[in-house]
């Protein structure tokens, strides 16, 4: 099976290749794709060296699957061209997420909505993915009315240049080209561009994408997204108001029994999830599970995941496995 990775030289693209290998996806020929300036660059996959090619070359090779992580503008231009030659596209950008004709998928939550006709499939925002993993089983049991979330997002979510900027600042640099302010020893309550309503695009993504993935526009979500000086792993403080009351013990048991979720909740032993614990792992970690005593039927929790893996690359590869299992690629 020919598999293209568009944006193969970036953080998410390289992680996609790593996870394809880890999960034994049946790739017979890898087609790494990047910008013209990167054509000819070598990447490694399953012990073999592959040369990066242009998008035109990749399309001509007619891959069965293309995993995209190259930005919204590129996805809007190239995804339809790949699809036109019979290639299934899983796109990690925001380009197709809110398109009414495209599915927005977290396999554990709504993989069942995919059909054989879906040629371009959207991968959600990293922070949305880890949140809906926790929200969905709770919504099915208790009915979610409202979610208030504050995120603590690592610099790897911005890319390789942001990671370098943080480490350079840690070594004494005063330059800040990626972010509008110094990120080391600081937090910046600003991810993506501000909208007319005062929210950032990232904050609106979390609200709109959650409702689409969970198939319920009645769920109200308000978000504040914050960049923190952590290299990898996103964290979220989430307040959830339900229609029906709950027991904390039942919530913990319910989440513990969900595939892809790990409950780490032992306050007496300082047991709670942290980005360092999630690094390199595909699960979503949840802890600090406790009742909000300020109003009825409301729960607080703390959610952590590796943003490059479950927040991006792993989720995309899981979608690809779903398509493979259905016999829609191969």
Which residues are catalytically annotated?
Answer: 126, 234
CA distance 128 to 94: 12
Let me know how long the chain is: 330
Task: Give the burial class of 83: count Cβ atoms within 10 A of its Cβ; 0-12 exposed, 13-18 middle, 19 or more buried.
Answer: middle
3-class DSSP state for residue 213?
Answer: helix
What tokens appear for 251 in the block? 């919530």
Ranges of H-type helices in the chain: 11-22, 55-60, 72-84, 107-110, 126-142, 160-170, 201-214, 248-256, 275-278, 314-325
What is the maximal distance between C-alpha atoms in the chain? 60
Q: Give the tokens for residue 28.
A: 């017979």
Whole-angstrom CA distances from 158 to 191, 231, 308 are 9, 10, 10
Contact assessment for residue 105 and residue 129, using Cβ atoms and an 8 Å cutoff: no
Across 14-27, b (16+ Cβ under 10 Å) vs e yields bbbbbbbbeeebeb
State whether residue 112 is helix, strand or coil.
helix
Q: What is the DSSP letter of 123?
A: P
Q: Identify the bridge partners of residue 5 per DSSP, sorted by sequence position.
A: 32, 67
Q: Interior CA angle at 305 toward 310 and 34, to 5°?
A: 45
User: How much is the CA Rg of the chain, to the nearest whole Å?
Assistant: 20
Q: How far is the C-alpha of 291 from the C-alpha of 310, rounded, in Å?
A: 27
Other CB atoms within 10 Å distance of the CB of residue 89: 25
């Amino acid at each position: 099976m020919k598999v293209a990775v568009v944006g193969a030289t970036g953080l998410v693209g390289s992680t996609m290749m790593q996870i394809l290998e880890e999960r034994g996806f049946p790739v017979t020929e890898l087609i790494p794709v990047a910008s013209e300036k990167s054509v000819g660059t070598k990447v490694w996959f399953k012990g073999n060296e592959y040369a990066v090619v242009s998008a035109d070359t990749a399309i001509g090779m007619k891959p069965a699957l293309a995993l995209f992580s190259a930005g919204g503008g590129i996805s809007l231009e190239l995804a339809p061209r790949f699809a036109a030659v019979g290639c299934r596209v899983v796109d990690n950008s925001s380009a197709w997420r809110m398109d009414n004709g495209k599915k927005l998928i977290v396999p554990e939550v709504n993989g069942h909505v995919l059909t054989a006709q879906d040629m371009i499939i959207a991968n959600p925002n990293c922070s949305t993915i880890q949140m809906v993993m926790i929200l969905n089983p709770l919504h099915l049991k208790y009915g979610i009315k409202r979610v208030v979330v504050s995120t603590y997002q690592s610099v790897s979510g911005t890319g390789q240049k942001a990671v370098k900027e943080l480490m350079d600042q840690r070594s004494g640099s005063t330059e800040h080209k990626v972010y509008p302010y110094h990120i080391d020893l600081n937090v910046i309550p600003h991810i993506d561009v501000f909208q007319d309503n005062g929210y950032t695009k990232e904050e609106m993504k979390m609200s709109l994408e959650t409702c689409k993935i969970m198939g319920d526009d009645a769920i109200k979500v308000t978000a504040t997204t914050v960049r923190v000086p952590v290299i990898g792993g996103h964290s979220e403080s989430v307040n959830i108001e339900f229609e029906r009351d709950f027991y904390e013990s039942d919530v913990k048991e319910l989440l513990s029994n969900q595939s892809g979720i790990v409950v780490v909740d032992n306050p007496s032993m300082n047991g709670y999830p942290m980005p360092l614990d999630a690094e390199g792992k595909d699960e979503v970690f949840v802890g600090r599970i406790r009742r909000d005593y300020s109003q009825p039927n409301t729960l607080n929790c703390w959610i952590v995941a590796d943003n490059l893996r479950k927040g991006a690359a792993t989720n995309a590869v899981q979608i690809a496995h779903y398509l493979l299992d259905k016999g829609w690629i191969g």
